[in-house]
Structure 1
Amino acid sequence: MVISAFFACASLDSGRPGRFLWRRLARLLPAYMAAVLLTYAVQRWIAPEGWNQLDGRDVVYNLLLINQWLPDVNIVDFAYWTVPVQIAAFIAGAVLVKRMRGRKLRVFLWALVVTPLLLRPLLDHSHALFVFYNGFALHRAQLFAAGIAIWLWHKHRMSTPHFAALLVATLMAQAIHTTEYGSTLGFGLLLLLVCAAAAGPDWVFFAPIATPVTWLAGISYGVYLVHQQIGTVVMDRMHAVGLRSWWLVAGFLTSALVLGWLMTKFVERPAYRLLTQIQSGSSGSSPRRPAPPVLPVSQPRTALADPLTELRLVGPLTVQMR
């Protein structure tokens, strides 16, 4: 979410909000919908008996991106909780980009960090607030604030002391929301690396591995969509035939890379080309950028993060996560 917010700012700063939003949706939604159907099919027909807790209603609500607003609906793959949150953030960014400038934007960033903390004590007293809080994953809002702040600092639009204070507040909020101080420390180190990458020159020492890294970056959204639940089923089926240890890891990684590449090549990129051609108003000609950029900027790699950390996890969703 941090990196996604950073690149969203770069796109919004140099382009039209409507164009930005359409392209983000064109990249995210078709592949997501295909992945929902594929993941459901794998759990329904390949996973062992008793694994699948999903039904047609769950699939429909997942496709409509409203499953997080309905406590009795199972999520098809727990990694997918980030997708509706991303889309909501992109819509908000497109709407607010012309209104949030200068001091207003800096105040808004602090509000993203502080407001969810103030709402936490009220969650046990209001079911409507609890649903709203979870639906928008407000306890992850500080991650978007950090990404925006890094971009502002990188563009010399935020002073270093102010930037440092906001990042410290982000880490404090992350620790409070998750109560996982070790992972918060790791997240802090990651933020420092992102800051170094944003502020410094290109890291030329990565040149020898640039080609494979670029390829992996190009299929990373597809990998994100298919790696978790399907990968777990793959490991289970491999275990059932007697394979153990590193064979399971190899199977998990191979399935993620192969299916992620297929999702990118046959769904994400063709759908993106078609939808951006529609936006350009000429379905018979290529848009200015006919394919998604090599480096994915619309999806964070937080697939294993728990969107309901320290909140309620009950019912079929808990069963599905086991």
Structure 2
Amino acid sequence: MNALFQCTHVMGLLMDRQIINAQVSPKYKVMVAMLHEELDVAKVLFDEQLSMAEKLGYMPVDKFMPPVAGTLLWIHKLRQRITTPVETFRIVEDPIMETPEAQHVFVKYEEMLDYLAQLEEKVFSEWVSQVADKCRVNLNRTLVVRDDTSILQLNFDDEVRHKGLDYHLQGLVSILREVSYLKNLGKEDIPEEALDLYQRNEDIRLWIGNLNLAIKWYNGIRSHCTPVEFDLILDEIEEIDEKVAKVQETLNWNSDDLILHVNVFSTDVWVHVKKIRDLVEHLYDRMAKIQANSVRISSIMNTWGATPLINRKDGKKEALVSLEDRKERVQKSGNSGSVVSDSDN
């Protein structure tokens, strides 16, 4: 339909020619009817979307979009769907523009724009009213937390929950995604707290990456070590725990030292976190080699237990024990496996 209305716009001065005007003018009634139908379809889509939001508890949008930006994009697309043909038709110079049918098109169009504007304002204002508090609460969290089993977790974000049109943001990741998409949509009046967080996006990503590595290795050690193995590395675990405790007690995501300047890590904090990561990485690599060697040794011993080193000649019970090839058999059995050492790297 857009192509049809754009065609009338392109024709321009050709409409001043009587022959062409006589052919085109009667079609304007059809175009008015098409506009009425298109506006009715837009209203049906709008009502269905609100009905689905009430039923599901959240506004259904593209699954790859965050909830607020996704809703605003849906509103933008629906607005564009009706705006292009109506605004193109508005510049037509023809007596039909003064008819009640044509005037009713513009009335329905303005009403639809009002509905979309009200929904857009509602969704965006509710999000704005929560962002500042969500940023403050989440940025004041400690970097890591420890559960009852001493397992570490990154303390940055929770899941995003929807409650009707009230987008209850629990974490910072959702806010970062919203700001990214809202900026692409050209949305203004984004809260300063959200913009400040977005400016630190890449810096925070680097911190999360390093902390996640340390946490993954640390939890792997605690989860996969046997009690005997854990007792052997207890002193090193306690050293790591002491440094982790300092991070929990003194640092949060809003600490001045965590803000990076000119893409360079703040020395004190970065050295402290890097020290934890390096200690955990070194211990994790050692334990992985030890456990791999233990499995390999058990496999070799099982092989020895299943295969005798010395046999009787020709496998006959009445034959004497064969000793001539004993060195070769022992050497062959001993070379059936190997273990990993630090010097192998």
The bucket for the TM-score relative to the shorter chain is under 0.3
TM-score (norm 1): 0.24
TM-score (norm 2): 0.23
**Greater Rg over alpha carbons, structure:** 2
